Amino acid sequence: MINQHFLSRLFALIALLCPVVGCLSAPSGTAAMPSPTAGTTAVAQLNAAPCPPLPPPVGPTITIANEADLRHQAQNAAPGTTLLVAPGTYSLQDAVYVTVNNLTIRGATGNRGDVILDGGGMLTWTHTHIIAILADDVTLADLTLRNGDEHGVSVNGRDRPVLYNLHILDTGYQLVKVNPATPLKAGPVGDGSDDGLLACSRLEYTTTSPEDYTNGISAHNAHRWTVRDNEWRRIRTPNQVPAPAILFWSGSSDTLVERNLLVDCYQGIAFGNASHGVGDHTGGIVRNNMIYASLPHDSVIEMVHASGWLVAHNTALLLNPDSGLTWGMEARFSDSSGTFAYNLTNMDIWLDRDGAGGSGIGNVTHAQSDWFVDVAAADLHLVAGATAVIDQAAPLPDVSDDFDGSPRPYGLAPDVGADEYTPPFTPSHFLYLPMTISERRT
């Protein structure tokens, strides 16, 4: 008879061993971008580890049930207040201008699909953005923002914004825009936006942007921003103009872009831009992202007028390149330097375009579709047969986990690309762990 003490000891032992043997690692091929509200199984919770629900509000809260009150409180609540927006669809009559420092606007249920802020349409020229941040330490969470004139979220030179568990779709210009200054209200001008976070969100167009001016996020003069654990779909223009989904430029620095999934975007991740000059981006890391393109595409990771970067352990399967395109990642112009390491892709990596000084370590550029779990579903986790890349990398100090947030390495060595392969979970991993029970029954 197994008593409670035995069970608690057994589970304690499993918990102790699992970080070593990986027995509770999620099976390869599970949902790539878990929602913070997805499921309650143990595996779902482990998968969602990088995206836990926000903790309960601290400080005063105000429940919001109509759009006029939301706009009013965003400018009049006391600093530190949380505006809890009740479930529903809110037809905004103007942008929500947040001018109160340390204000949080969040959906009341934690499910971003329950609270929809609708701007009425793209490029209707009625009220610019869905939400404009004009204060420091503003958090937006658990919301859907859609049908905006210009931007879903406009950050204007203010610091430490947190954009978390949002669904942003179908806005006329960039879905998220980070401006260097505060053009709409009085305030610090031109000092940029520092220490922002965009995480655990989904950003997309239903088809394409309405015209050629868009990005998923475009950030000017932004410093130490983190963009992680987001899903980006169809960030593209009607005329296939170059428009990176994730673009940091205009003097931005030390951007971290990790564990994002990009599907059918025309371009992917860019530090700097060819339309600018020397010093467009400094430092930064792009790691553990998965990029899949079946619609026509340009190159998907580009470091342009950018120096001091690391692009490591990204997976890019690119199936519909524009005519003449033979490369999927590039460093460009003579002021660009950095390292591409252990990326996995099926197209070339151009290290020295226009005199750039990129270096390459251990990249694999002949990826095959059958190395991945489910290409048609954009699931680029590795299968057991991907032996050409499993355990074929060397550890990098800047890459200690993978796309799933699971620790590297599993097995003998890190794997090339964004996924660290772990065998599918089966009970046999723990049912046959050796252990001795010397418990004296009383």
Identify which range of 84-92, 260-268, 350-358, 385-393 contacts Ca ion by CB under 5 A. Answer: 385-393
- How far CA 80 is from CA of 102, 206, 434, in Å, comes to 5, 35, 52
428's enclosing H/E stretch is helix 428-431
Q: Which of 335, 328, 326, 329 is nearest to 281 (CA)?
A: 335
Of the residues 69, 348, 352, 391, which one makes contact with Ca ion according to CB under 5 A = 391
Contacting Ca ion (CB under 5 A), which of 199, 415, 416, 429? 415
From 87-95, 103-111, 207-215, 406-414, give the range in contact with Ca ion by CB under 5 A.
406-414
Task: Tally the C-alpha atoms within 13 A of residue 4's C-alpha that lie toward its C-beta.
Answer: 0
Nearer to Ca ion, 180 or 244 (CB): 180
Angle (nearest 5°) at CA 218 between 213 and 224? 175
- Pick from 29, 53, 308, 409 the residue near Ca ion by CB under 5 A: 409
Q: Tell which residue, 292, 35, 34, 248, has the closest CA to residue 144.
A: 35
Beta carbon of residue 403, minimum distance to Ca ion (angstroms, whole number): 6
For residue 125, give the 3-state DSSP assignment.
Answer: coil
CB of 190 to Ca ion, least distance (A): 9
Compute CA 30 distance to the chain's CA centroid, rounded to the nearest angstrom.
17
Q: By CB under 5 A, tell whether 402 contacts Ca ion.
A: yes
Number of residues that bind Ca ion (CB under 5 A): 13
How far is the C-alpha of 247 from the C-alpha of 242, rounded, in Å? 11
Q: How far is the CB of 369 from Ca ion (least distance, A)?
A: 18
For position 195 contacting Ca ion by CB under 5 A, the verdict is: no
CB of 46 to Ca ion, least distance (A): 11
Name the minimum Å distance from CB 408 to Ca ion: 7
Q: Quick check: 191 binds Ca ion (CB under 5 A)? A: yes
Between 223 and 281, CB nearer to Ca ion: 223
C-beta of 137 vs 402, nearer to Ca ion: 402
Looking at the Cβ atoms of 296 and 409, the one nearer to Ca ion is: 409
Q: Which listed range, 110-118, 178-186, 207-215, 418-426, lies at the site for Ca ion (CB under 5 A)?
A: 418-426
Residue 212 DSSP symbol: S
- Minimum Å distance from CB 25 to Ca ion? 7
Contacts of Ca ion in 138-177 (CB under 5 A): 157, 159
| Residue closer to Ca ion, measured from CB, 105 or 386 | 386
CA 287, chain centre distance (Å): 11
Round to whole Å and give the CA distance between 135 and 158.
Answer: 6
How many C-alpha atoms does 261 have within 13 Å on its Cβ side?
Answer: 21
Q: Which listed residue (411, 423, 430, 433) binds Ca ion by CB under 5 A?
A: 411
- Beta partners for residue 285, in sequence order: 256, 310
* Tokens coding 404: 């799933």
Q: Residue 420, interface with Ca ion (CB under 5 A)?
A: yes
Q: Rounded to the nearest 5 degrees, what angle is found at the Cα of 200, between the Cα atoms of 179 and 58?
A: 85
Please say whether the beta carbons of 96 and 132 come within 8 A: yes
Asked whether the beta carbons of 212 and 239 are under 8 A apart, the reply is yes
CB of 241 to Ca ion, least distance (A): 30
Stretch that binds Ca ion, among 269-277, 281-289, 361-369, 394-402 (CB under 5 A): 394-402
Cβ closest to Ca ion, residue 193 vs residue 282:
193
Radius of gyration, alpha carbons of the chain: 23
* CB-CB contact of 72 with 93 (8 Å): no
Q: Where are the alpha helices (DSSP H) in 310-402?
A: none
Distance of closest approach, residue 223 Cβ to Ca ion, in angstroms: 9
Of 93-101, 121-129, 298-306, 383-391, the segment contacting Ca ion by CB under 5 A is 383-391
| C-beta separation of 161 from 133 below 8 A | yes
CB of 94 to Ca ion, least distance (A): 24
User: Should residue 379 be labelled a site residue for Ca ion when binding is judged by CB under 5 A?
Assistant: no
List residues binding Ca ion (CB under 5 A): 157, 159, 191, 391, 402, 404, 406, 409-411, 415, 419-420
